[in-house]
Amino acid sequence: MKLGVITDEVTQDIRKAVDFAVKHGLHGLELRSVDDMSIDMVPEKRINEIKNIIESHDLEVCNISSSFFKCSMDSEKEYDDNIEKLKRLMERAHILGCSTIRGFSFFTDGSFDERIGEIIDKFQLPLEMTEKEGIQLLLEPDPSVFTTNCKKLSKLIGLLNSRHIGAVYDPGNDIYDPDFEKPYPDGFNEIQDHIRHVHVKDAKLIDGKPESVKVGTGWVPFAEIFKALHSMGYDGYVVLETHYRPKLKIPEELLKKPGGSLFSYNGDLASEESMVELKKMLADYL
């Protein structure tokens, strides 16, 4: 397995993010927001500069962590805006030498089972686009979207039936799942055939509400998960997506669409703590 971090969980400054990666012996960086801009809005000239900075330290961009299709499925304007976003994301992915883009399955509005046919229809154009460009779209379960957990996401990916779609396995999101899916073994067993990328965050219920905490102090059984990933032959990226901040709570709206300086505030301290723990857990698998 290879180790990485989403850079805006540390800082908005790409050079400082690279310093963090070098310090911890990481293999790659995942980009979501840089310079207070979502990655699709960063000018191409700056994208080329970012590429050179990263590659000059023998690192690579391991994924584009976008908010694609974190929008209303019923808004034609939002759908069209996200299609344009996907075009920009693919352009930047090509420059950065990255073949994967993270996405979602629309904000929940109604029953997943009743609306899955509509969701599938809405994905046909993006799949045509990614196939043409040689990009793989990696969908992530998230409590705010239709596929709130691995079981639902596995069903959607199976029905989409495309080699240009896969899954981001993020067991920490299960702590937020309204259907209370267990991260392991339940979530893992549902999604394991589709896993192409792994995110690491930890969380637990505090006063009945899910909150992110330092990796290793929450309810996600990472030791079992990493052992299972190793057993299945997973050799891709395990990427820290901290989401925890010491002595402060990230606003809910920022958790829905992370990015920017407010989100990154104190991220360096939190990510330092969590990366130290993550490296201990992964010591036998790196």
**Are the beta carbons of 286 and 2 closer than 8 angstroms?**
yes
DSSP code per residue over 77-117: HHHHHHHHHHHHHHHHHHHHT--EEEE---B--S-HHHHHH
Containing 30, the helix (H) or strand (E) segment is strand 28-31
pLDDT > 90 fraction of the chain, expressed in percent and rounded: 95
Q: 3-state class of 165 per DSSP?
A: strand
Alpha carbons 175 and 33: distance in angstroms, whole number: 25
Taking only the tens place, the pLDDT of each residue in 77-133 is: 999 999 999 999 999 999 999 999 999 999 999 999 999 999 999 999 999 999 999
Taking only the tens place, the pLDDT of each residue in 153-188 is: 999 999 999 999 999 999 999 999 999 999 999 999
Task: Place 247 in a pLDDT band, splitting at 50, 70 and 90.
Answer: confident
Domain range summary for the chain, segments of one domain joined by +: 2-281
Mean pLDDT, rounded, for 49-67:
99
Indicate yes or no: pTM above 0.95.
Answer: yes
Q: What is the pLDDT of residue 249?
A: 83
Taking only the tens place, the pLDDT of each residue in 184-242 is: 999 999 999 999 999 999 999 999 999 999 999 999 999 999 999 999 999 999 999 99
User: For 2-281, CATH number?
Assistant: 3.20.20.150
